[in-house]
Amino acid sequence: MTDDKLPPWLSDNSDDSDENDLPDWLKDTDDDSPKSSNRSGVTGELSWMQDDVPSGDDKSKRGRASTGLTGELSWNQSDVPDFMKDVDDSQSSAKEDTPDWLKGDDESDFSSGMSMSASNDDEDDALPDWLTEPSEKESGLPEWLDDATLGDSNPVNIDDFELPEEEEWQGTSAFGNNTDTSTWGDFEGSSDTFTDDEEAEELLGSSAFTDDSWISETETPSIEEDFADLFAQSPVNDFNPSDLPNTGMLLFGEDDFSNEMEEETFDLLGTPSDVDSLLGDEEDFDLFGELSDTPKEDFDLFGEMSDEPETPIADALASDEKFLERFGADADIFADDDVDIDMLLGEEAEEDDPFRQFEPNNATNEPVEDDLSWLNDISNVPFQDTRPEPLFTPETRAKLPKNPPISKPEPELDIENYLASLDDVDVIPSMDLESADLDFENLFEDDEEAVGIKGLSPDAPSWLTDLSAVSAGENSAAAILKAQKDRPAEELPDRLKALRERGFEVQSKPKAETDVLSAIEPTSPVTMSESSASAIATVTLTAGQVQRAELLRTIVGNALEGEESKEKSRRQRQLPVERLFITVLLLVAVLAPFFVNNLRIGSPPPVQFIIGSHQDAFYRSIDSAPLGAYILIATEYGAMSAGELDVATESVIRHVLSRGCTPVIISSDAVGLVRADNLMQDIATENNLIPNLDYVVARYLVTDVVGLRDFSENVGRYLSYDVDGNPTGLKINSLNDFSRVIVISESADNLRLWGEQILPLMNQPFLVVSSYGAAPLAEPYLNTRVSGYLTGYSDAYTYQTMVNRVLMGGDILIPTLPTEEIVITTEPPVIIPTELTAEVTPSAEATTSAESTVSVIEGTEIVTEVAVTEATTELPVEVTTEIVTVTEETPVATSTPTITPTFPPTFTPIPTPTPIVERYAVITASTPINIRPDPSTNNPPVGALRPEERALILNEVTGVDGQQWYNITFLSNAGETVIGWVREDLVRIEESIVTPTLPPTFTPTPTPTPRSKKLDIRGEIPQKGQEPTPEITPEATPSAEVTAEVTLEVVITEIPLPTLPNVVTLDVPELNLNREIVPMDVTDRQARWDSMALGILVAVVVIAMGNLFNLVRVIFRKRRR
C-alpha cells in the first residue's frame, strides 16, 4: 500500500497537519448547535442524518431514510464518499471513485476460506468492485486491497475459499424449514456484478450481490429473500483478503496511512495462517449449517411463525423514499472516489452516496439492478495496494454546503410511534375473562380438547397461534404441556409413586359454583363458574389435579367454602363429638348411683383388712401405739389429691387421737399443711382438743429435699413453732423420739424423698398412705422398707370402717389384742344357776406389759365386754375355773342385786368369768324388714335386715302401739354399726352363751369376802384357808348375809358379802390424754363407691373399645395398601 493511495488526510501523520487537509467533516466548526452538521451523539444529529432531499438523480438523492430511535439517517448521496457509492463498470467514474483499498486486485492474494463472491459483472453497480470477484487483471478490489498482503508466508488465496453447497447455507436454520426461493429474484444471468464470475455465484448462490433484489426493497420484501440471498451464494474463491485495504485506509482514505501501512500486513481476518483455522476447511465451513439439521427446503427463517411474516420496521424503511434514495439499488454510493462524510450528509450528487448500494428499491417494486460491480474492484487488488480513497477531496469539500439545510424532520418513526401505529392490529389478544369459557379441567386433560383463548385476533403473531398446534390448532396451556413429556411413572422413586397413587385415590368433589377470585380479591369483578378449581381463564385442570387440589384444600382448610361449611367445621373443631359422647357417658355413670340406690356393681371394700396384709399391719401399728406417744404425720399432698387422701388423713388422725397419742403434723406442701390444719381444727372442735397439747400442726418445710434433710437433723428447731408461729413446747430432738412416722403422699417422688432422707435415720415404724397414681412407682419402697401402707381410696375406705367402728364402740369381727382399758357395761346378762363346780386349772401363761393391770373379778361379777390391749401377738389364754360346791346350806341372798352368789363360809369362791347369755333377734319375715330409730313406725328406717339375719338385742321396751320392741344392733353390709328397733312379731329370739375370754394379764383384785377364793389371774392361786388379799375394793358390797355352818376344816370367817358393783373400774394408769373421739360421718360413702366403680367400668370399656377399633382400622389399612 503506497502513500499515494491513501487520502491525503490520512497519509500525513504529523500532528501539525494542516487542518485544511482534513476532511471537512472532521474539521471543527463553530456551529455547535444540536443539529449542526458537525455534531453527533445523543443530542445531535449526524450531519448525514439530516434531512436533505438532494436534487437531481432520484437514484442518488433519495432523501432521508428514517431509522433509529431519534435520529434520522439522511443518506445524501452527494455526501457519500466515492468508495461507498455504487461502483459499476458502466459507470467508470464510479469505479474510479472507489478507493483503491476497496478495489479488488489480485485474487491470488486471498487465502482460501474466504467466501465472498465478487462478480466482475460489469452490469452490477450495487457493490463496489472490491466485493465483486476480481478478475485476473481487472480486479474489482481497490488498489489498497490488492496491495495488502497478509504475510509473505502464506498469502490468502481466494481460490481456497469456497462456499458450501447451497444446502449447507440454507438447510440448518432453526427458524423454519420453509424456503421459498421464488421471490429471491433471478441472479442468474442478470446484470449482477457476480454473474461474470462463476465462483461468485457459487459463493453467493443466485447472487445476493449480483442482484439488487436483495438490497432493494420491494414493497414488502420478504425476509427470506434477504437472508436467502445472502446464504445462497456460492463461495467465491477469488476473494483475496490480502487485497483488502488497510483499515485505516478504508476509513480515512488511501494516503494518510500509506507510510505506515506500507510495511505492515493488514490482517483483516487474522493471520494468514489463521484464516483456515478461522473459517475452516471447505468441508467444515458451514456458516449456519450447525444451527439446524433441516434441509434446505426446510429453511425458513421465520416461515413457521407466520404465514404472512410481518416486518414492520423493514416495511417502514421500504416506504421511505429517502432511504430508498440512499440505499436503493440504483443508489450509487461508490460513485465518487473521494468520499466525504459531509457529502453523505448534504444534498450531493448521487454518486457521492456511499450507501446507495444498500438502499432498497423504492416502493414501485422496481427490480433492483444488480449493482455489485464494485465487488469486482476488490477481487484482485492486493491488500497492500489498497487504500481507502479519501472521503472528501478538497474539491468535493468545497461543494459541500456550509450550513446544510436541515430539512424538516418527518414524523419520527420511533418505537413508540410504531407501536402506536399498531393499535389497529390485535397483536395481543384481548383477554376477556368474563366471557371466557373457563374450564380448569379441560386444560390439563390429555384426551380433552383444550379450550384456547377466544377472542384472539387473526392478526396475532403466529407464534401465539401456533402454541396450540398440538391440540387441534387451539391455544392452550395444555398444548404446551402436551408437547412436554412427563417422566415415566416407573422411574419415580417409591415415595413419589405412593404419593402419585394416593393422589389418584382422592375423589373429586362435585363441582359447585364458586366465586374464587371474588373471595380472594373482593374487588375483582371476575366471577368464576363451573369448576370449583377454576382460577383464571386460561387454566384448566385435569380430574387428577382437581382431586389433588381438593386434598390440599381439606388439609390446609379451604377459605373459599361456603359459610355453612365454615360453621360446620368450626363447630366440629370446638365441640368434638367423640369427646362429648364419652363425657356424657361418664357423667351418667358417675351420677346415677347418687340417685338410684340399688345401682351397685360389685361389692364394696371389705370391712376389715386381711390379717397379715400390709394394710392390716398399718392398722395394727397405729392401734398398738403407746399412750401419750408422738406420732409424726406428714401430709404431702395438695388440693388436687384431697378428694382421694382426705379420707385416710382424717381416719389416721382420729385413730391416733383415739389411741391417746399426740399427732404432730408437718408438710412440705403449703396447701397440704393448710388443709391438714383445717381438718385438725374441725376434729378439735368436735372433741374439745387443745392445740399444741392434744395435737401439733408444725411449720412448713421448704425446698423439698434440702428441707427434709434439714428437718431430719434439726427436728427440735422445726417443731418449736407451729404453723401460726406459736411455740409448741415439744421436747423432741430427733426422729427416734417419734413412735411412728406416717407419710401421706400423692406423688411417688415425694415418697422417694422421704424414703431417702428420713427412713435411713429412723428405727421406728415407717407407715405410708399413697394415692393410686403414686403406688406403681412407690412399690419398691413400700414393699421392702416400710412397716405398712395403704393405697388409694379402697384401703382408705376399709380403714375408715375399722376406725369408725372402734370409735363408735362396736366390735370388730376379728378379735384384737387386749387393750389397757376395759369397758364394762351396766347391763349384766342372765347368770347361770348357782350349782357350780369350781375347778381351778390355772394354765395360763402370758406375758404382761408393765402398763396393764387386771382386776379381780368376784364371783358375782359379770363382765359382758372385756377389751384388752397388749403388745404381744398371742391370743389370750382361756382360764377355766373350778367352782367348789358347798353341800352346806347355802345362804340365799335376800337382797335385790341380780347376782346372788352362794359361797360356802369356808370357801372363797374363785371369781371366774361368768358365761354370758346373749340374745339375738332373728328375722322371721319373708321379706326384708325396716329397722326404725325408735320403737315406732313414725320415722323412716335407719337400716334393713334380710330374712334369717341376726342382730344382738340390747334392750326391749313396750312401744306406743302396745307391742314389744327390741333394741338391736348389727353390722350393715357396708360394715357400719347400726342401732335400731324392731318389732317382736317380726323376729324370733335366740340365745347363746358366750364365755368371755379374759386376757392373761388380767389380774382381778380380790374381793374382801373372807370365804371366797379369789383367783389371782396374775399367777398366784390362793390356797385354801389362805386369807385373800384384796387388791381392789369393789364398790358394791353384797347385801346378803351369808351364814353357814361348815363342817369342814375350812375356817370360815364371816365376811359380809360385798356388793358387786355393776361397773368395775380397773386400776389402770392414768392416761395422759383421755379422749373420746367422735366417729366420722360416713353417709353417702356407699353411693360414692358405687359411682366410682361404675365410672371405672365405663372408662375401661371406652378405652378397650377405642383401642380395638384403632387396631382393626390399622389392620385394614395395611391390607388395603
Partner 1 sequence: MDDIGLIIGFVFTLMIFSYLLGDNFLYRLAVYVFVGFTAGFIAIVTVESVIIPWFDTTLFSGEAPRIGLGFIPIVLALLLLFKTTQRLGRLGNYGMALIIGVGTAVALVGAIVGTIIPFILETAEVGTHTLPNAIILFVGVACSLVYFQYAARQKPTGEIVRSRPIQLFSLVGQGFIVVTLGAMYAAAILTSLTIFTDRIQYLLSPILGG
740 beta partners = 631
In angstroms, what CA-CA distances link 471 with 304, 442, 457?
A: 17, 12, 19
Q: Please identify, using beta-carbon distances, which residue of 310 and 722 lies nearer to partner 1.
A: 722
Question: How far apart are CB 907 and partner 1 at their closest, in Å?
Answer: 58
| Binding residue (CB under 8 A) for partner 1 from 314, 460, 674, 974 | 674
* Shortest Å distance, C-beta 469 to partner 1: 51
Closer to partner 1 by CB, 594 or 1116: give it: 594
556 binds partner 1 (CB under 8 A): no
HSE of 695, CA atoms in CB hemisphere, 13 A: 29
25 binds partner 1 (CB under 8 A): no
Minimum CB–partner distance for residue 642 and partner 1 (Å): 8
How many residues line the site for partner 1 (CB under 8 A)?
57
> In the complex, what is the shortest distance from the CB of residue 559 to partner 1, in angstroms, rounded to a whole number?
22
- State in angstroms the smallest separation of the CB of 673 from partner 1: 7
**Inter-CA distances, 709 with 225, 713, 718, 742, Å:** 107, 7, 12, 17
The span from the CA of 338 to the CA of 335, in Å, is: 9
- Counting beta carbons within 10 angstroms of the beta carbon of residue 229, is it exposed (0 to 12), middle (13 to 18) or buried (19 or more)? buried
Residue 393 φ then ψ, to 5°: -90, 160
For position 590 contacting partner 1 by CB under 8 A, the verdict is yes
**Residue 1022 vs residues 910, 911, 1016, 1030: alpha-carbon distances, Å:** 9, 12, 7, 11
When asked if residue 887 is in the footprint of partner 1 (CB under 8 A), the reply is no
Report residue 544 CA to chain centroid gap.
27
DSSP one-letter code for 696: E
How do strand 740-745 and strand 766-770 relate by DSSP bridges? parallel
Candidate residues 74, 771, 798, 801; the one interacting with partner 1 per rule CB under 8 A: 771
**644 touches partner 1 by CB under 8 A:** yes
- All three cell numbers of 441, joined, read 379441567
**Which one of residues 405, 643, 928, 1069 is an interface residue with partner 1 (CB under 8 A)?**
643
Length, in residues, of the chain: 1121
List the one residue from 556, 575, 577, 690 that touches partner 1 (CB under 8 A). Answer: 575
Q: Which of 364, 784, 837, 873 binds partner 1 (CB under 8 A)?
A: 784
- By beta-carbon proximity to partner 1, the closer residue of 679 and 822 is 679
User: Which parts of 747-766 interact with partner 1 (CB under 8 A)?
Assistant: 752-753, 755-757, 759-760
The verdict on 640 binding partner 1 (CB under 8 A) reads yes
Residue 801 is a binding residue for partner 1 (CB under 8 A): no
Rounded to a whole number of angstroms, the minimum distance from the CB of residue 631 to partner 1 is: 21
Q: Does 600 bind partner 1 (CB under 8 A)?
A: no
Nearer to partner 1, 418 or 594 (CB): 594
Q: Which stretch binds partner 1 (CB under 8 A): 178-186, 289-297, 506-514, 574-582?
A: 574-582
Q: Which three cell numbers stand for residue 273?
A: 495462517
Cα three-residue angle 906-909-910, rounded to 5 degrees? 140
What is each CA distance from 955 to 266, 825, 860, in whole angstroms?
150, 13, 22
Burial class (CB in 10 A: 0-12, 13-18, 19+), 1119: exposed
Pick the piece of the chain touching partner 1 (CB under 8 A) from 533-541, 583-591, 881-889, 1040-1048. 583-591
Count Cβ atoms below 10 Å from residue 996 Cβ, excluding itself.
16
Query: What is the C-alpha to C-alpha distance for residues 766 and 787, in angstroms, rounded to an integer?
Result: 6
Residue 788 makes contact with partner 1 by CB under 8 A: no
Instruction: Tell me: does residue 1108 bind partner 1 (CB under 8 A).
Output: no
CA distance 515 to 531: 10
772 binds partner 1 (CB under 8 A): yes
Q: For partner 1, which residue of 221, 792, 904, 909 counts as binding (CB under 8 A)?
A: 792
State the minimum distance, in angstroms, from the CB of residue 836 to partner 1.
Answer: 53
CA-nearest of 823, 824, 822 to 1060 is 824
Residue 144: closest CA among 410, 463, 386: 386
Q: How far is the CB of 792 from partner 1 (least distance, A)?
A: 6
In the set 565, 583, 714, 1026, which binds partner 1 (CB under 8 A)? 583
Q: Which of the ranges 401-409, 483-491, 785-793, 1001-1009 carries the binding residues for partner 1, by CB under 8 A?
A: 785-793
Give me the least distance between CB of 796 and partner 1, in Å please.
9
**Which of 469, 671, 875, 974 lies at the binding interface for partner 1 (CB under 8 A)?**
671
Q: CB 747 → partner 1: shortest distance, Å?
A: 11
Radius of gyration of the chain (CA): 67
* Shortest reach from residue 703's CB to partner 1, in Å: 7
Question: Buried b / exposed e across 1039-1066, counting CB within 10 Å, b at 16+?
Answer: ebebebebeeebebeebebbbbbbebeb
Dist CA 675 CA 700 (whole Å): 12
Report which residue type is found at 516. Answer: V
Taking CB under 8 A as the criterion, the residue among 579, 731, 1117, 1118 binding partner 1 is: 579
Name the region of 1077 (left: φ>0; alpha: ψ -120 to 50; beta: rest): beta
The yes or no reply on residue 699 touching partner 1 (CB under 8 A) is yes
Q: Which of 221, 792 has the CB closer to partner 1? A: 792
Question: Out of 39, 709, 950, 1075, which residue is the one contacting partner 1 (CB under 8 A)?
Answer: 709
Beta bridge partners of 667: 700
- How far, in Å, CA of 779 to CA of 777, rounded? 5
Asked whether position 680 contacts partner 1 by CB under 8 A, the answer is no
Is there binding between residue 723 and partner 1 (CB under 8 A)? yes
From 127-135, 145-153, 210-218, 1093-1101, give the range in contact with partner 1 by CB under 8 A.
Answer: 1093-1101
Report how far residue 1066's alpha carbon sits from residue 1089's, in angstroms, rounded to the nearest whole number. Answer: 42
Output the smallest distance, CB 942 to partner 1, in A.
Answer: 15
Region binding partner 1 by CB under 8 A among candidate stretches 163-171, 516-524, 525-533, 784-792: 784-792
Instruction: Compare residues 647 and 846 and give the one whose CB is closer to partner 1.
Output: 647
Side chain identity, residue 388: P
Place of cell 390355772: 842
For residues 313 and 591, which CB has a smaller minimum distance to partner 1 in the complex?
591
Residue 777 lies near partner 1 (rule: CB under 8 A)? yes
- Based on the shown chain and the rule CB under 8 A, indicate whether residue 592 belongs to the binding site for partner 1: no
- Looking at beta carbons only, is 552 or 1100 nearer to partner 1? 1100
Instruction: Choose one: 191-199, 446-454, 700-708, 1071-1079; the region binding partner 1 (CB under 8 A).
Output: 700-708
Rounded to whole angstroms, what are the CA distances from 228 to 179, 214, 287, 297?
Answer: 8, 9, 13, 11
Q: Is 536 strand, coil or helix?
A: coil
Q: Are 107 and 347 in contact (CB under 8 A)?
A: no
Q: Does 1088 engage in binding with partner 1 (CB under 8 A)?
A: yes
| Residues 1057-1086, interacting with partner 1 (CB under 8 A) | 1083-1084
CB 319 within 8 A of CB 60: no
Pairing of strands 61-65, 838-841: unpaired
One of 725, 833, 940, 962 touching partner 1 (CB under 8 A): 725
Cα separation values, 396 from 63, 97, 393, 663, Å: 19, 12, 5, 136
Give yes or no for residue 702 binding partner 1 (CB under 8 A): yes
Closest separation in Å from C-beta 599 to partner 1: 14
Footprint of partner 1 (CB under 8 A): 574-575, 579-580, 583, 590-591, 594, 639-644, 670-671, 673-674, 699-700, 702-703, 705-706, 709, 721, 723-725, 752-753, 755-757, 759-760, 771-777, 780, 784-785, 792-793, 1083-1084, 1087-1088, 1091-1092, 1095-1096, 1099
